[in-house]
Amino acid sequence: MQLDPKTWFTEICEEGGLAFSLAIKEKLHEETTPYQHIEIYQTEAFGRLMVIDGFIMLSQRDNFFYHEMMSHSALFTHPHPQRVLIIGGGDCGTLREVLKHETVKEVRQVEIDERVTRLAEKYFPELCEGNDDPRAQFHFGDGIRFVAEAPANSVDVIIIDSTDPIGPAEGLFQAPFYSDCRRLLGDRGVLVHQSESPLLHLNLLNKMRAEMKKGGFPQVRTLTYPQCVYPSGWWSATLAGDSVAWFREQEAAAKTFSTRYYNVDIHRASLAVPEFLRQIEGE
C-alpha cells in the first residue's frame, strides 16, 4: 500500500531496517533552534506528536510508559530520594512524575534547548503540570557541564532523559560523564538513563553499561517496557548504582499517587532478563 507523504509522518530507523508511520491531521508547529529542528503534529490516533531532527520524541497517547518507567523505577530504587537531577527531559513529563513522590524536596532539570520546554508548555500542557511546583528548578544549558561543575554528594537520583546518542547528547553516554554523575550521587545514589531498544540497539546498550562501570558504578540493571512510537516498540532504561536490583517493594505497592503503567508488579517484572540479554547482564 502506497502511503501519501502529505498525510503520514514516517520515521526511518536505518540501523533496524524498518520504518514507523503515523497518520497526520495537520502540522501545528515547526522551527529550527540553535540545537535542533522541532516539529509538532496533530495525529489521527496518537494525539499530538513531537518530532526532533526527524525522530519521534513523544506522543500524547503513549508517553506515559516512558515517563513513568524513567522516574518511578529509579526513585523507588533509592532508599529515600530527596534531591533529584534530570538531564534533558525538556517535555517535562518525567519531571511531573518525579514530583509525585512526597519525599522529593528538590528537582533540578537541565535542558539544553529551552524551546523544547516552551513548546511542551503550549502543545503538551498535561506534561507540564508540575512546572510551577516550588520544588522544581529549571536550568537551560549544557547538562555535561552542569554535572561537571556541581558539588559532590549533592544529588540522590540522576535521571538522564536524553535524546539518541548523536549531536548534543553524544557525551551523555560516555564514561567521563558517568564518572561525574557518580561523584554527585555518593554511595547510595541511583542513576537511570534511557538506553534505546534492546532489540535494535544491543551494541549501544552493551557499550553504555560498560561505560557506566568505567565511570564507577558497581552494578547496572536494564529495565524493559513497551513504547510503540519508538523503533521496534520495545524500549529500555538502565539503572546504575551500588544496589539497583533491589527496590522498595512495599512502598511501591502502597504508592499514594496514580499511574497508568507503573506498579510494583511491573517494576518487578521489568527486571526479568530475556535470554538474549543475559550475555550483557553478567551479574
Q: Answer for the pair 245, 221: CB distance below 8 angstroms, yes or no.
A: yes
Whether 55 and 110 map to the same domain: the answer is no
Whether 239 and 273 map to the same domain: the answer is yes
Whether 249 and 126 map to the same domain: the answer is yes
* 3: in domain: no
Q: For the whole model, what pTM was predicted?
A: 0.94
Whether 16 and 140 map to the same domain: the answer is no
Per-block mean pLDDT, blocks of 10 residues, the chain (283 long): 73 89 96 97 97 96 98 97 97 98 98 97 98 98 95 96 69 88 92 94 91 94 95 95 94 97 97 83 56
Q: List the alpha helices (DSSP H) in 8-159.
A: 63-75, 93-98, 114-123, 143-149
Whether 163 and 269 map to the same domain: the answer is yes
Residue where a domain stops, chosen among 59, 80, 96: 59
Indicate the number of domains in the chain: 2
The CATH code of the domain that includes 13 is 2.30.140.10
What is the pLDDT at residue 283?
Answer: 47
What is the pLDDT at residue 166?
Answer: 60
* 200: in domain: yes
CA dihedral over 77, 82, 86, 89, signed as positive or negative = positive
Whether 55 and 67 map to the same domain: the answer is no
The three-state secondary structure class of 247 is coil
Whether 25 and 97 map to the same domain: the answer is no
- Number of CB atoms found within 10 A of residue 151's CB: 8
Nearest CA to 123 out of 188, 199, 29 is that of 29
* 145: in domain: yes
* 1: in domain: no
Q: Answer for the pair 38, 29: CB distance below 8 angstroms, yes or no.
A: yes
The CATH code of the domain that includes 206 is 3.40.50.150
Whether 54 and 74 map to the same domain: the answer is no
Whether 53 and 94 map to the same domain: the answer is no
The catalytic residue among 62, 113, 161, 180 is 161
Q: Answer for the pair 91, 109: CB distance below 8 angstroms, yes or no.
A: no
Residue where a domain stops, chosen among 59, 76, 94: 59
Whether 55 and 90 map to the same domain: the answer is no
In the residue annotation, 161 being an active-site residue is answered as: yes
Cell of 274: 530475556
Q: Look up the domain containing 23 and give its range.
A: 8-59
Please report, in range form, the residues annotated as the binding site. Answer: 36, 67, 91, 111, 142-143, 161-164, 168
Phi-psi region of 241 (alpha: psi -120 to 50; beta: other; left: phi over 0): left
What is the pLDDT at residue 15?
Answer: 82
Angstrom distances, CA of residue 108 to CA of 26, 82, 124, 127: 34, 11, 20, 16
Whether 16 and 121 map to the same domain: the answer is no
From edge to edge, which strands make up the β-sheet containing 48-52? 8-13, 18-32, 37-43, 48-52, 55-59
What is the pLDDT at residue 172?
Answer: 80
147 phi, psi to nearest 5 deg: -65, -40
* 207: in domain: yes
Please report, in range form, the residues annotated as the binding site for S-methyl-5'-thioadenosine. Answer: 36, 111, 142-143, 168
Residue matched to cell numbers 499511574: 259
Whether 254 and 223 map to the same domain: the answer is yes
Q: List the alpha helices (DSSP H) in 7-138.
A: 63-75, 93-98, 114-123
Please report, in range form, the residues annotated as the binding site for spermidine. Answer: 67, 91, 161-164
